[in-house]
């Protein structure tokens, strides 16, 4: 293995960490918004969303940790190869790949939870729309009886 092999991961890991940071910032923004809404009025959907957001934050922390450790081990692998420590470089690089895979698995898990959270939100909106529709129908019927 040459020094350039682990170097190939640098752009990929950097972009991955940037994407993870963006996901974290989006989660933080959602949590702040839900907290404000919850202070104004308690909704069951908000409580469910908050539970899902807590799980997503935990997974995002884990995927960031695994990604950063992958990046660090990739760097150490390059340093070991630079010092002609072939076996150590290969072991560090292999471990870096495993951690990168773990990070991606956490990312998939977080995406699944994110999708479930969106479904909770959609269900809440659908229930509100159905309730509004029933109220409008009831008002029309009441208005029609009054004629």
Q: Which among 30, 23, 25 is positioned nearest to 48, based on CA atoms?
A: 30
Query: Can you tell me which residue has the tokens 């940790």?
Result: 65
Summarize the confidence of residues 104-133 as an average pLDDT. 80
Which pLDDT score, from 0 to 100, does residue 77 have?
94
Which pLDDT score, from 0 to 100, does residue 44 have?
67
pLDDT in tens, 50-98: 788 888 889 989 999 999 999 899 999 999 999 999 999 999 999 999 9
Q: Which among 135, 13, 127, 27 is positioned nearest to 68, based on CA atoms?
A: 13
pTM assigned to the model: 0.68
Q: What percent of the chain has pLDDT over 70?
A: 90
Which of 3-7, 33-37, 74-78, 130-134 comes out lowest in average pLDDT? Answer: 33-37
Q: Where do the H-state alpha helices sit in 1-147? A: 4-7, 9-40, 44-82, 86-145
Structure tokens given for 111: 């995406």
Q: Does the pLDDT of residue 22 top 80, yes or no?
A: yes
Average pLDDT, the chain: 82
Query: Can you tell me which residue has the tokens 């420590």?
Result: 85
């Amino acid at each position: 293995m040459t020094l350039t092999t682990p170097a190939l991961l640098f752009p990929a890991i950097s972009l991955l960490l940037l994407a993870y940071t963006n996901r974290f910032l989006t989660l933080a923004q959602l949590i702040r918004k839900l907290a404000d809404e919850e202070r104004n009025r308690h909704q069951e959907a908000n409580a469910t969303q908050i539970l899902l957001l807590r799980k997503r934050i935990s997974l995002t922390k884990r995927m960031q940790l695994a990604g950063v450790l992958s990046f660090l081990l990739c760097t150490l692998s390059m340093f070991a190869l630079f010092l002609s420590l072939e076996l150590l470089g290969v072991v560090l690089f292999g471990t870096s790949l495993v951690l990168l895979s773990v990070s991606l698995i956490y990312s998939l898990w977080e995406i699944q939870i994110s999708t479930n959270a969106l479904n909770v939100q959609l269900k809440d909106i659908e229930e509100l729309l159905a309730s509004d529709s029933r109220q409008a129908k009831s008002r029309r019927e009441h208005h029609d009886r009054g004629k």
